[in-house]
Amino acid sequence: MGSAYVLTRAVVHFYFPESGTLFIPIDNVHPTMISTWKKALLDGAGDIFDKNQKSRKQIDTKVDELHRQIGQLKVENDFLSRKLGY
Residue 66 pLDDT: 96
Question: What mean pLDDT comes out for the span 22-38?
Answer: 66
Question: What mean pLDDT comes out for the span 70-80?
Answer: 95
For the stretch 40-75, what's the b/e string if a residue is b when 16 or more beta carbons lie within 10 angstroms of its beta carbon?
Answer: eeeeeeeeeeeeeeeeeeeeeeeeeeeeeeeeeeee
The model carries a pTM of: 0.39
DSSP state of 53: P
Say whether pLDDT at 69 is over 80.
yes
The larger pLDDT score, comparing residue 50 to residue 62, is at 62
Say whether pLDDT at 23 is over 60.
no
Q: CB of 1 within 8 A of CB of 28?
A: yes
